[in-house]
Amino acid sequence: MEEIEKAKDALVLKGIEKADIGIVLGTGLERMLDLVEIKQTIPYSQIPGFPVSTVQFHKGNLIFGNIGEKKILMMQGRFHAYEGYSLDKIVLPLRVMKLLGVQKLFLSNAAGGINSNFKKGDLVIIEDHINLLYGNPLTGKNLDELGPRFPDMSEPYDPLLIRQLKQKSGALNLNLKSGVYAAVHGPNLETKAEYRYLKIIGADMVGMSTVPEVIAANHMQMPCAAVSVITDECDPDNLKPVELEEILAVAKEADEKLSKLFYETIKSL
């Protein structure tokens, strides 16, 4: 709690006293930066306790700004378990957002498509998830100030936010699909046998993020919604090697649609 308060105090000193909406941008998904009215860009290295990303293509800035009337705090670059961070470190920025008044959280990520109806570049809203990370950000003494020891996870993704995103995607003529996201540790991509397994257990897509943040958000009773961009098709019977460059290129192409969807939805809240 002390660490969370310290980071919050540092942001308050920089003039960030309150925000309404939190946003976490996934790998290669940065077009939101062109849409938000940016007031401040704060490198994570200037915020005590914030981890500094180890992956070169992940930037590390906390962005404070506006979308219409809403004040937003946006993470340009997030932290992953495969980088070696503990899961509670990964969710620290979200807990700081909570102390700054953030009421709703939007997350994006790049994911592999397990469901054979999903094609590269598709946007998929996460309806539910499976935690296959070897851990949980709530491990250890419960932070009673933030939430209960045994948080409910019957609806981890807020039904109202899901409805609002779906409505807006209709108005924008985007073909928003929906599915179950499985979070794996990484950093390697999966074997054919693992993709088969993921399909059998009910996953529609797979990635290496988002679930720790969603668990922490639910713990704090912060409604959240998440959208995946399908960057590769994971058909175990026809699996081609995937290059990181290709994943980034597909994410980049879908980024405009996703950013518009988040921007318009947040503006209309």
- The site for ligand HPA (CB under 6 A) is made up of 110-112, 184, 189-190, 206-208, 231-232, 234, 247
The structure tokens listed for 159 are 């039904």
Residues 6+ away with beta carbon under 8 Å from 129: 156, 157, 180, 181, 182, 183, 210, 211, 214
Specify the residue, 3 or 30, whose C-beta has the smaller distance to ligand HPA.
Answer: 30
> What is the smallest separation between the CB atom of 113 and ligand HPA, expressed in angstroms?
8
- The DSSP code for 119 is -
Q: Which is nearer to ligand HPA, 45 or 188 (CB)?
A: 188
Least Å from the CB of residue 191 to ligand HPA: 11
Q: Which is nearer to ligand HPA, 100 or 111 (CB)?
A: 111
Q: Cβ of residue 130: shortest distance to ligand HPA, in angstroms? A: 13
Residue 109 CB, nearest approach to ligand HPA (Å): 8
- Residue listed under structure tokens 């809203």: 125
- Is 12 or 201 the residue whose CB approaches ligand HPA more closely? 201
Task: Please tell me the distance from the alpha carbon of residue 75 to that of residue 62, in angstroms, as a whole number.
Answer: 5
Nearest approach, Cβ of residue 1 and ligand HPA (Å): 32
Instruction: Report the distance separating Cα 129 and Cα 127, nearest Å.
Output: 7
Beta strands in the chain (DSSP E): 21-25, 37-43, 61-67, 70-76, 104-113, 123-131, 176-183, 205-207, 224-233
Measured from the CB atom, the residue of 115 and 164 that comes closer to ligand HPA is: 115
